[in-house]
Amino acid sequence: MLALAALLNLPNRATAQADFAPIGATWYHAWANYNVGFPGNNLEGIVLQESVSDTVINNITTRKLRRTSFSHNAQNALVSTPLSNIYVYATEDTVFSYDVDSNRFVPLYVFNVAVGDTMTHHSIGAPAPPGFVTTWKTVVDSIGYPVYNGKPIKKIFHHEVYPNPGQRQPPYFQYMGQLMGDWNTYFVAIHIPEDSYRINGLRCYQDDTLNVHFTDVNIVPCDSVPPGPNSISDVDFLSRKLSVYPNPATDQVTIALDGIAMQSVEVLDMLGRRVLLQEYKAGTNKTMTDLSNISKGTYILRINTKDKGSVHRKIIVQ
């Protein structure tokens, strides 16, 4: 998803990327299309991205990344959908990806950057539809080296300067790629209108040397696929029955579902990661949820019922 036009070299910070996407590497991305406040479907699933083989494109040996989406349909049957493949190759400091529209390779992740560098990015993967943003620019804000599995991994933070100045773009990591959003599309920050929104983020990355979980694997396993969508009538019905107050909240929030028993309440961050789970074996239609251990920010409440599916509501913790 990320590409760069011209960057500075940082010889004191070598970042070997030649082993990016070794065969057998896997990425698990969680995705969700939610509807908040109006009738509509709530859809959730995962995208499994696998490094499967080498192939040659334009006389360049590249790594094929196969992508498959998994979700449950209205009958709660698991459905798999093939997505467009991504083809990459890497040098010591840059990962390149094949751009279908231009039939050429463009930088996807570049690591020889300095704070203040301007980067030009290009969409990759399947051909972009008419009117779709295919080029955008960002500036590097900072560079970090978090440690995963005992290994320091370079992390690039950046914000957009074109076409939406000031919008913060998701960081990207050495070896693992981008934390949030999809590789082949322009990332739009989530403003969470009351009608609908989409979130997707990297849940897990695994290869022979790294096994990184961005979620609590004991709560959300890498390959866990959420249940099927709610019907439009169910979502509308539940939305009208749901009360959440106060919102914004500080230490706690009251959740009430008029006349309907809740089986559980989940608090999700904006990557779709569960940060809190409360379960009610006997069911309850009103509960107070403790938020004192949750960082300030915007979250999604997911209220699950036994027979009517789930309903979601945006909440701000301050």
- The tens digit of pLDDT for each residue in 300-310 reads 888 888 777 77
What pLDDT was estimated at residue 125? 60
> Of the residues 156, 185, 213, which one is the last residue of a structural domain?
213
What contacts 30, CB < 8 A, 6 or more positions away? 44, 45, 46, 200, 201, 203, 215, 220, 271, 272, 273
Its domain, for residue 195, covers 26-213
Same domain, 155 and 289: no
- Find the range with the poorest average confidence among 155-159, 196-200, 213-217: 196-200
Q: Would 11 be classed as within a structural domain?
A: no
Give the domain CATH number at 256: 2.60.40.3080
Tokens of 302: 């997911």
Same domain, 138 and 277: no
Between 314 and 188, the more confident residue is 314
Averaged pLDDT score across all residues of the chain: 79
| Rounded Cα gap, residues 75 and 108, in angstroms | 38
Same domain, 155 and 194: yes
What pLDDT was estimated at residue 146? 93
Q: Would 313 be classed as within a structural domain?
A: yes
Tens of pLDDT, residue by residue over 169-180, are 788 898 898 876
